[in-house]
Chains A and B, each alone.
Chain A
């Protein structure tokens, strides 16, 4: 009887709502229908992203770099190894990991993420934004030695890589603790230009960075608003992903296993790299390097802010329980020899990187023995020969590929 009476009361309330406040009732129903449609659309988008993963994974493009949808799909796939790096990923050489592993010759594809100027501070935001999706996931991170001998990245470089969605997911997500978020926020606030795009994120970062108890409370009060923002950005991300899929690759890459003869592949790639470099280093080019003292080099190495950012990245990866492999491109020994920086001084870089990786118990391959291996790195065009080269040749990429293959299959990476 009570249930019947309760049911009667509910009917009465619904009737009054329909007749008394028709706009409110209709608005609520419309919002409910729209939310259901968006939810269904999101599910369809995720299905499409998974379905086209093998066609999309080897590519590097804007929506993949700036959004998280494709990165998340790659993180979920067992046969995809995400590779985070910077401009070296854009090399046109077929030896580049994305292209080389596109047919999954040894059972996996590499999914490169990054572009010119992507540095550890950007990578940590993307990886932190993926959060728990990276738990126990193997990922590779390519580092440029040259980042660690300049004082800092500039605002333009950071702006050109900043992803609002990744940063917002990192800050309003649940994967990281407040202490780590505070340290990241402190660093992000050194690039205020990106905060103009999103006052909510800027405000939240300032509250986090200050670390005071009142600011913590304000940050927690902002949390639901941040979650709503993340939900909207997430929908926009999937929408952009669907548009890319519609206009982009129509069919999946055909995957087929293949026996790889690494020594032969490396020999061929070495010949190709040597042939393309032959005759490019002239006496005139060599004169363009201004000599510097070894003390200057050590000072640069000690003061580079990228060490801080790399350490933040390693802390994020530790917190997420990810299984990263760090690949550090060797220093451009040929350039530094001309520059007046000897091999023994350059050793400081390798030692410092090794010590940092060991502290976090992460695998590291430094390719140190290729420091003076000229065909390993692309040598700069004369106009910008005054700076060291951070790019790999076909040979360099083939060594990278072998390391990625070893890492993915659980073997000890050979450099």
Chain B
């Protein structure tokens, strides 16, 4: 049995941190959203 395998609590904690890091990465990439709009083109009003 490996060193980490002998410490299931630590293994689970590391896995949770790993998944949290994945979620944080996804939020960093997609979290900001896009509130920009195309430029206005004068329409003759």
A22 interface residue per 8 A CB criterion:
yes
A239 touches B32 (CB 8 A): yes
| CB contact list, B21-45 vs A, under 8 A | 22-24, 27, 31-33, 35-45
What DSSP secondary structure best describes chain A's contact surface?
helix
A147 CA to B35 CA, complexed, in Å: 26
Structural contact, A390 and B45, CB atoms closer than 8 A? yes
| Known contacts A26-B12, A26-B16, A390-B45: A236-B33 contact under CB 8 Å | yes
Q: Is A161 an interface residue (CB 8 A)?
A: yes
From 136 to 154 in chain A, residues with beta carbon under 8 angstroms from any chain B beta carbon are 144, 146-147, 150, 153-154
Q: Say yes or no: is A298 at the interface (Cβ < 8 Å to chain B).
A: no
Most buried by A among B35, B36, B44: B35
Is the beta-carbon distance between B40 and A31 smaller than 8 angstroms?
no
Which A267-321 residues have C-beta < 8 A from chain B? none
User: Cα distance A22–B5 when bound, in Å?
Assistant: 12
Number of A-B contacts (CB under 8 A): 91
Within the complex, what minimum Cβ distance (angstroms) separates A252 from chain B?
Answer: 24
Whether A23 contacts B15 by the Cβ 8 Å rule is yes
In the bound complex, residues from chain B placing their C-beta under 8 Å from that of A150 are 44-45
Bound complex: CA A409 to CA B28 (Å): 45
Q: Is A153 within 8 A of B19, CB to CB?
A: no
- With the chains together, A25 CA to B40 CA distance in Å? 50
Chain B residues with CB under 8 Å of chain A are: 8, 11-12, 15-20, 22-24, 27, 31-33, 35-45
Q: List 18 A-B contacts (CB under 8 A).
A: A22-B12, A25-B12, A27-B19, A29-B19, A30-B16, A33-B16, A34-B20, A34-B23, A34-B27, A156-B38, A156-B40, A156-B43, A159-B38, A160-B39, A161-B37, A236-B33, A237-B33, A237-B35
Q: A117 near B: Cβ within 8 Å?
A: yes
Complex CA distance for A264 and B9, rounded to whole angstroms: 76
User: In the bound complex, do residue B31 and residue A236 qualify as a contact, i.e. CB atoms below 8 Å apart?
Assistant: yes
Per the bound structure, the CA–CA distance linking A30 and B16 in Å amounts to 5
A62 lies within 8 A of B36 (CB): yes
A116 at the interface (CB under 8 A from B): yes
Take A117-B43, A239-B33 as given contacts and tell me if A160 and B19 are in contact as well, using a CB distance cutoff of 8 Å. no
Interface residues on A, range: 35 or more
B15 → A minimal CB distance (Å): 4
A382 to B5, CA, bound (A): 80
* Interface status of A178 (Cβ within 8 A of chain B): no
Q: Which residues of chain A from 47 to 96 have any CB-CB distance to chain B below 8 Å in the complex? A: 62-63, 66-67
Instruction: Tell me the complex Cα distance, A117–B44, Å.
Output: 11
Selected from A19, A38, A62, A236, the residue in CB contact (under 8 A) with B8 is A19
**Could you tell me if B23 and A236 are in contact, using CB atoms closer than 8 angstroms?**
no
In the assembled complex, which residues on chain A have CB atoms less than 8 Å from the CB atom of B33?
A: 233, 236-237, 239-240
Q: Compute how far the CA of A388 lies from the CA of B44 in the bound complex, rounded to whole angstroms.
A: 9
Bound complex: CA A26 to CA B18 (Å): 9
Report whether A18 and B12 are in contact in the complex, using a CB–CB cutoff of 8 Å.
Answer: yes
Chain A residue with Cβ nearest B22: A30
CB within 8 Å for A162 and B37 given contacts A19-B8, A146-B45: yes
- Expressed in whole angstroms, the Cα–Cα distance for A18 and B22 within the complex equals 20
Q: Which residues of B contact A33 (CB under 8 A)?
A: 16, 20
Q: Whose C-beta in chain A lies nearest to the C-beta of B19?
A: A30
Q: Which residue of B lies closest to A388 (CB)?
A: B45
Decide yes or no whether A255 CB sits under 8 A from chain B: no
Complex contacts, B37 vs chain A, CB 8 Å: 62, 66, 159-162
Contact A153 B20 (CB under 8 A): no
Report the Cα distance A156→B42, complex, angstroms.
8
- Please tell me if the beta carbons of B16 and A29 are within 8 angstroms of each other in the complex: yes
